[in-house]
Amino acid sequence: MKKKIMLIVPMLHQGGFERVCVATARLLEPYYEVYIVIFSAMDIAYDIRGLHVMDIHMKSVEGKAGKVLNVFRRAKRVAALKKEYGIDIAYSFGPTANLVNVFSRGGILGTGKGGGNRAEVWCGVRSYMDMGNPGLLRLFCRRSDRVISCSRLIRRELEERFSCRKVCTLYNPFDLAAIQEQSREAGEKERLPFAGCGRVIVSMGRQDDVKGFWHLIKSFSILHRKYEDARLLIVGEGDFREYWELAEALGISDAVSFPGVKKNPFPYLALGRMYVMTSINEGFPNVLVEAMSLGIPVISANCMTGPAEILSDDFDAVSRRQEYLDADYGILIPVMDAKKDLDASVITEEERKLSEQMERLLSDEALHEKYSQAAVRRAAQFSGEAYVERIREMAEE
């Protein structure tokens, strides 16, 4: 009989680990019985047709006491589902789901061996920001059977800081053929912004200070003075009002678009002449690989974690270097100032240097072609097949 795997995620709105959860379910279906447990079905942004999704109807609440109580209410419900469905492995995505996973394992909630579930607990550490809570990480390392990191750097720190010997690295999976196919679909009734423009710089992500979008907008404003036909497209969740105002103050509002969150973002991504990521922190930035699979050269901040592993063959040599590097598969730049500055009159040296790197990719056809071809080669190494093979190895150990 097939083993039964439960994937636990708070919601399925647009986000990195939510996308990985859905992709994992589809990739594992031929080999296992797969169930997705979510805490709330609000704002589902992914195609879940054909998947077995169970909503426990326990959305987030306000207040510290309410949040603690909510964790245990969710854990009790998930423990019952593990027992009811005879789950063999429960794999959770992100700290909130990890808490529920570890507290729902047999014995912790008083279920005991005789009446409780005995599912293995796999906790996924999906972002370097998660490393800022040592108490939770110690709990996950102690109470789980495996800790799954999405980057080698996170794995190294878990081993060094918490003496965790259960940790392994599992890169996020990508269905490269599906990304390429979806990029050719219109996907939306409205006309794609800047379609037909040759010099479109694309970035993606929710409206969050950790994405550093103010740096990108200011850098683009410098570039736009030299290339009046250049355009900037930032796709993601949020109203981006403060960034609209920044673009207006910089005099580039006609050259910038914030189309919002999209169920199929790939036609928007495919518009890019290049992809630029200015994040202060990441877990494993899926969108870098997605852009590269479409042959789009990338410029990325060398932030914690992921970009160095994606863009260089020599991760150990470049992971902590904060300089401007022409890496094997893209351009790495130093992490930019985390303090948000929406003053249009203030342009920093690091923003000027980012603009120079973007100009290089626009003006140097040989460099652009080099990184376009390298991007496709590198993206092929993050296929779903390799991801499934590693999970199957772990499931059978």
Helix axis angle, 286-293 to 16-28, nearest 10°: 70
Q: Out of 87-101, 173-187, 257-271, 382-396, pick the least confident.
A: 173-187
Tens digits of residue pLDDT in 236-282: 999 999 999 999 999 999 999 999 999 889 999 999 999 999 999 98
pLDDT for position 234: 98
CA 211 from centre of chain: 12
Over 90: is that where the pLDDT of 46 sits? no
pLDDT for position 110: 47
Q: How confident is the model at residue 166 (pLDDT cuts 50, 70, 90)?
A: very high
What would you measure as the largest C-alpha separation in the chain, in angstroms? 72
- Omega of the bond prior to 305 within 30 degrees of 0, cis? yes
Q: How confident is the model at residue 115 (pLDDT cuts 50, 70, 90)?
A: very low
> What backbone torsions phi and psi does residue 163 show, to the nearest 5 degrees?
50, 40
Over 90: is that where the pLDDT of 294 sits? yes
pLDDT for position 116: 55
Over 50: is that where the pLDDT of 112 sits? no
Contacts of 385 (CB under 8 A, 6+ apart): none
- For 150, which DSSP code? S
- Mean pLDDT computed over 187-206: 84
- For 129, which DSSP code? G
Contacts of 381 (CB under 8 A, 6+ apart): none
Over 70: is that where the pLDDT of 187 sits? no
> What backbone torsions phi and psi does residue 29 show, to the nearest 5 degrees?
-50, -40
Tens digits of residue pLDDT in 314-363: 888 888 789 999 999 999 999 999 999 999 999 999 999 999 999 999 99
All structural domains of the chain: 4-170 (3.40.50.2000), 178-381 (3.40.50.2000)
Specify the higher pLDDT residue, 134 or 189.
134
- For 85, which DSSP code? H
Can you give 183-239 as a three-state secondary structure string?
HCCCCCCCCCCCCCCCCEEEEECCCCHHHCHHHHHHHHHHHHHHCCCCEEEEECCCC
pLDDT for position 205: 95
- Mean pLDDT computed over 8-31: 91
Over 80: is that where the pLDDT of 201 sits? yes
- Mean pLDDT computed over 62-70: 93
CB-based contact 134:161 (threshold 8 Å):
yes
- Mean pLDDT computed over 72-101: 96
Task: Using a pLDDT cut of 70, give the percent of the chain over it.
Answer: 96
Pairing outcome for strands 167-169 and 256-260:
unpaired
Report d(CA 13, CA 20) in Å as an integer: 12
Q: Is the dihedral of CA 269, 275, 278, 284 positive or negative?
A: positive
pLDDT for position 1: 84
pLDDT for position 114: 39
- For 389, which DSSP code? H
Residue 2: CB atoms within 10 A of its CB come to 12
Residue 63 identity: G
Mean per-residue pLDDT of the chain: 92
Over 70: is that where the pLDDT of 28 sits? yes
